[in-house]
Structure 1
Amino acid sequence: MTTHRRDIPALPDLVFAAAAEPQRLAEWLPPPLDVVGLADDILILRHEGRLTQVRLSADLDHLRLSWESLADPTRRGTLTVSPLGAGRSVAELEVEPDDADFAERLLDALAKEVEVAFTAG
């Protein structure tokens, strides 16, 4: 599994909040993903016209968000946010199956959401 990285000019807590809070998650997930609903720890997504259920697991102590498709457990991923120093963070994303374009789109969308939500002034 390949780790994809993105430096983000914001504190790790803010980056993780943007990634993990359901209301924010619905704002930044790029097309063709669309959040349809959330029930407990199950996120319901529309992807290319089909509904998909994904189990989310957030580890607040380690700023790690993991997910796994309920229909296909081989489709999963983990996002970890770490401090980079001076108010910066690094977001590291692993997805299975590995799809570099999709991973980069997710990280770009997350960085943009953080910029709009927390650093625009």
Structure 2
Amino acid sequence: MRVRGEVGALPDLVFAAAAEPPRLAEWLPEPLAVVGVNGDVLIVSVDGRPRQFRVLADFDRLELTWEPLAEGGPAARLRAELAGVGGSVVQLELECAGASDEELGELAARLLVELGKSVERELAQD
């Protein structure tokens, strides 16, 4: 399931909020929570169960991929692109066996809203 949304910040700021584990922990909504980081492996609690993801960041394309280390686990890809002056269009693609397109679409939309709020809070502090 792929969802697109707009964020009122430059793409590199949006990408940094999504790519850096401490910042990621600030905007992941329930039932997701960052549990830990080990190198390029991110450990996330999904509905109370720990899942490990290899995080691949392409800084040139501002694309971030979370690949599950266990088969059948959820996967995600996020890409930020410039939209107008000082704004971004963010595309988030989620895949998860056993989840409906409706569930994935709702979660992806919530994730984009929370990411946007996190970036806006950070800009307000600067």
TM-score for the superposition, normalised by structure 1: 0.92
Q: Which residue of 2 aligns with 1:110?
A: 115
Find the aligned partners of 1:73 and 1:20 in 2 and give their Cα distance: 23
Give the counterpart letter for 1:65 in structure 2.
Answer: L
Q: Which residue of 2 aligns with 1:82?
A: 81
Once the two structures are TM-superposed, the CA of residue 79 in structure 1 deviates from its matched residue by 0.2
Find the aligned partners of 1:15 and 1:37 in 2 and give their Cα distance: 21
Query: What are structure 2's unaligned runs of at least 5 residues?
Result: none
Alignment CA distance shift 1:62-1:102 (3 Å): same
RMSD: 1.5
* Aligned-partner SS, 1:85: coil
* Aligned-partner SS, 1:65: strand
CA contact (8 A) 2:18 2:24 kept: yes
Find the aligned partners of 1:113 and 1:90 in 2 and give their Cα distance: 15
Once the two structures are TM-superposed, the CA of residue 69 in structure 1 deviates from its matched residue by 1.3
Find the aligned partners of 1:7 and 1:48 in 2 and give their Cα distance: 27
Q: How many residues align?
A: 120
Find the aligned partners of 2:28 and 2:116 in 1 and give their Cα distance: 11
CA contact (8 A) 1:14 1:118 kept: no
Percent identity of paired positions between Structure 1 and Structure 2: 49
Query: Where in structure 2 are the equivalents of 1:1-121 lying within 5 Å?
Result: 2-72=1-71, 75-97=74-96, 98=101, 99-119=104-124
Once the two structures are TM-superposed, the CA of residue 84 in structure 1 deviates from its matched residue by 0.3
Once the two structures are TM-superposed, the CA of residue 75 in structure 1 deviates from its matched residue by 2.4
Give the counterpart letter for 1:111 in structure 2.
Answer: G
CA contact (8 A) 2:21 2:34 kept: no
Once the two structures are TM-superposed, the CA of residue 73 in structure 1 deviates from its matched residue by 5.0
Find the aligned partners of 1:46 and 1:74 in 2 and give their Cα distance: 12
Once the two structures are TM-superposed, the CA of residue 115 in structure 1 deviates from its matched residue by 0.6
CA contact (8 A) 1:15 1:114 kept: yes
